[in-house]
Amino acid sequence: MRLDKLLSNLGVASRAGCRELLKAGRVQVDGQTVRDGAAQVSEKAAVLLDGTALDTRLARHLMLFKPAGVLTAAEDGRQQTVMDLLPGVYRSCGCMPVGRLDKDTTGLLVLTTDGELAHRLIAPGRHVDKVYFVRVEGTLTAEDAAAFAAGMTLGDGLRCMPAGLERLPEPDTALVTLREGKYHQIKRMLACRGKPVRYLKRLSMGPLRLDEDLGPGEWRELTAGEIQALTSA
Ligand code: URA
C-alpha cells in the first residue's frame, strides 16, 4: 500500500496532512526517513511517526457491548451509531459491524475489517449459532420451546429455521439460540406466541462470548485465539 494511504487509513491525519508530515521528514520506514507518499510499504514494515512506532495492522477485529439506543450502521446523519462509540482509527481502517442488532437490542456486536470473515459469519445458510438472553411480557412455556424447535412460520408467511428456547428459572426469561438472522426475528417469533419482547441481549456468536468485563458501550480487540476460533467456526 502507498505510505500516505496507510498513514491516513491509520487515522494519523488526512491524506494531505500525511503528505505534509512526510515532507517534513517526520516519518521513518524500517529505519529510513521517507518523504514520498507514493512509496510502497508492507503491513510488516516498522513505521515511526516522530520516533514513535505506529500500529500498522490493518486487519482489526473488535467486540463491542452494544448499548440500547444506538444504531448498528456505519453512519447515520442524525442518530448515534456503533461507529461513534469507537476511536476514529477503526472507521478509517474500514471496520464494519458483522450483522445487525436492533436499536433497542444490547450485547455482543463483532466489528471487523475482514469482509470475508463477516460474510462467512452471516451469509444465509452458513450462519453460526447466536445466543440471546430474552425477557418477555408473560410466561414462557414448554409449548413456546416446542414451537421454536419445530421451526415457526411468521404471520407474513416467513419460515424460520428450528431455533432453541431454553427457559430459565425466572418464568419470563429464556436463552434463545438462532442460526439465522432475519429482521426482528426473535421479536417476531415471540410476538407470534403472544409474548412481546421487553429486553434482548446477545450473549454469543459462534465460539465468541461477550466479555463479562465489558460494560455497555465498551469494546476491546479480539485476541488471536478468538480470531482463530471465529475464522474456523
Ligand atoms: N432478533 C431481534 O428481534 N432483534 C435483534 O436485534 C436480534 C435478533
Cα angle at 218 between 44 and 165, to 5 degrees?
110
Annotated catalytic, 104? no
pLDDT in tens, 85-128: 998 878 777 889 999 999 999 999 999 988 888 988 887 677 78
Using the mean position of ligand 1's atoms as its centre, give its distance from the Cα of residue 178 in Å. 10
Joined together, the cell numbers standing for residue 154 give 411468521
Residues with CB under 6 A from ligand 1: 101-102, 105, 184-187, 200
Alpha carbon of 102 to ligand 1 centroid (Å): 6
Annotated catalytic residue: which of 30, 84, 102, 104?
102
Residue owning the nearest CA to atom 2 of ligand 1? 184
pLDDT score at 101? 98
> Nine-digit cell at 102?
436492533
Torsion of CA 127, 131, 135, 139, to 10 degrees: 90
pLDDT average, residue stretch 54-64: 86
CA distance 220 to 153: 38
What is the position in ligand 1's atom list of the atom closest to the CA of 101? 6
Contact 63, 108 (CB under 8 A): yes
Cβ-based neighbours of 32, under 8 Å, separated by 6 or more: none
Residue with cell string 428459572 = 169
pLDDT, tens digit, 9 for 90 and up, residues 147-183: 999 999 998 888 999 999 999 999 999 999 999 889 9
Contact 166, 134 (CB under 8 A): no
